[in-house]
């Protein structure tokens, strides 16, 4: 499978992203204007293949130094179970503007194992919050 990941927002299929987020447990309250605004105000990543087009999406809020928050990481239903979520997460974690960030956080209800494989840990007893702390404290 010929796969590429791009941060070019012009390539994003906003309607498909919105539909998938709207069908999710975390974004069912969002309208299309909210989805557009979140894309405009975030670093965005699309995962694509030459034959299937856009297969997934993720966005990150970050100051690029101290904190980053991975949000809306989705793989479209027909492409799930192929390792694309792992591939997209790896790309984000190795992105030059994210890999040196001190703390990276996210929320998930059902993908703890995926994120634990990248060094994320649950925060206290939260069923959803996870973080990876890269900070060096004296």
Q: How far is CA 137 from CA 25, 67, 81, 102, 134, in A?
A: 36, 15, 38, 10, 9
Residue-wise pLDDT for 63-121, tens only, equals: 999 999 999 999 999 999 999 999 999 999 999 999 999 999 999 998 999 999 999 99
Residue of 47, 60, 39 lying closest to 5 (CA atoms) = 47
At 132 the pLDDT is 96
At 5 the pLDDT is 98
CATH number of 3-133: 3.40.630.30
**Domain chopping of the chain, boundaries:** 3-133
Q: What percent of the chain has pLDDT over 70?
A: 99
Residue of 89, 98, 129, 95 lying closest to 112 (CA atoms) = 129
Residue-wise pLDDT for 25-72, tens only, equals: 888 999 999 999 999 999 999 999 999 999 999 999 999 999 999 999
CB 46 within 8 A of CB 11: yes
At 1 the pLDDT is 62
């Amino acid at each position: 499978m010929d796969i590429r990941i791009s941060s070019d927002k012009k390539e994003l299929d906003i309607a498909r992203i919105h539909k998938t987020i709207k069908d999710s447990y975390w974004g069912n309250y969002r309208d299309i204007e909210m989805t557009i605004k979140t894309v405009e105000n975030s670093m965005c990543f699309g995962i694509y293949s030459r034959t299937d087009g856009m297969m997934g999406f993720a966005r990150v809020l970050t100051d690029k130094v101290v904190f980053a928050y991975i949000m809306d990481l989705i793989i479209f239903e027909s492409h799930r179970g192929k390792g694309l979520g792992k591939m997209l997460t790896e790309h984000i974690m190795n992105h030059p503007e994210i890999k040196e960030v001190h703390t990276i956080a996210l929320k998930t209800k059902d993908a703890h194992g995926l994120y634990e494989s990248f060094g994320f840990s649950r925060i206290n007893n939260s069923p959803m919050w996870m973080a990876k702390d890269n900070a060096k404290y004296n």
